[in-house]
């Protein structure tokens, strides 16, 4: 009897867990069931502006990725919370940065030598009611910056193709020869 009661209780709990996690479509307390749609005309995607790094050559492996994110806009409604990621070409996977329209600063370490790019990607859902029902759509934007890291490459030093001591020796020899010729010519005239 106790086993049957325990088994019934476990099955009931399992049923509640499975039934509670099954979601057919997104639900919002204000709108009920939402229908996914492509972004309507006039939708402005989230904004991104990358402050650093810039498109130039860096001689360090430690760089700062600094950028600003703004919200997507549809009509006069700013969408939900933006989700922010970045992906550097020397990294295997993209990295989640955070939520929200804000200023972000990330330390990039051990950046290898070579030409690189870093892409910042922002996604943001927007929910709206067009009068005949509630709809939602995702907006997305991304921006890439390119730069070069040259730490291992040593700068080319100008070489003395004609050493100074050698040059001075040649000049001294020419002066002595000319001086000797001058003395010889002056003695012959006498």
Residues 106 and 143: their CA atoms lie apart, in Å, by: 16
Residues 72 and 179: their CA atoms lie apart, in Å, by: 87
Q: Which domain holds residue 90?
A: 23-149
Residues 188 and 48: their CA atoms lie apart, in Å, by: 89
| Concatenated DSSP letters of 46-79 | PEEEEEES-SSEES-S-EEEEEEEE--EETTEE-
Q: Structure pTM?
A: 0.60
Report the domain count for the chain: 1
pLDDT (tens digit, 9 = 90+) per residue, 132-165? Answer: 666 778 888 999 999 999 988 665 666 656 667 7
Indicate if the pLDDT at residue 3 is higher than 70: no
CATH assignment at residue 118 = 2.60.40.10
Q: What is the mean pLDDT of the chain?
A: 76
- Is 50 inside any structural domain? yes
Backbone angles phi and psi of 84, in degrees to 5: -115, 135
Indicate if the pLDDT at residue 60 is higher than 70: yes
- Is 6 inside any structural domain? no
pLDDT (tens digit, 9 = 90+) per residue, 14-33? Answer: 444 444 433 333 444 444 45
pLDDT at 174: 87
- Is 55 inside any structural domain? yes
- Is 136 inside any structural domain? yes
- Is 9 inside any structural domain? no
Indicate if the pLDDT at residue 44 is higher than 60: yes
């Amino acid at each position: 009897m106790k086993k049957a009661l325990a088994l019934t209780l476990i099955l009931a709990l399992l049923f509640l867990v499975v039934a509670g996690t099954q979601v057919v479509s997104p639900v919002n307390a204000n709108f009920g069931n939402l229908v996914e749609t492509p972004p309507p005309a006039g939708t402005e995607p989230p904004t991104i502006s990358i402050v650093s790094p810039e498109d130039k050559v860096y001689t360090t492996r430690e760089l700062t990725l600094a950028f600003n994110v703004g919200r997507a806009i549809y009509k006069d409604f700013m969408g939900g919370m933006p989700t922010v990621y970045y992906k550097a070409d020397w990294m295997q996977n993209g990295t989640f940065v955070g939520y929200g329209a804000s200023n972000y600063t990330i330390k990039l370490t051990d950046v290898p030598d070579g030409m690189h790019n870093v892409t910042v990607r922002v996604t943001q859902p927007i929910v709206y009611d067009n009068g005949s029902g509630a709809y939602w759509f995702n907006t997305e934007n991304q921006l890439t910056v390119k730069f070069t890291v040259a730490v291992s490459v040593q700068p080319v030093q100008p070489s003395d193709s004609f050493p100074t001591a050698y040059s001075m020796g040649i000049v001294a020899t020419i002066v002595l020869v000319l001086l000797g010729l001058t003395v010889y010519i002056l003695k012959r005239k006498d």
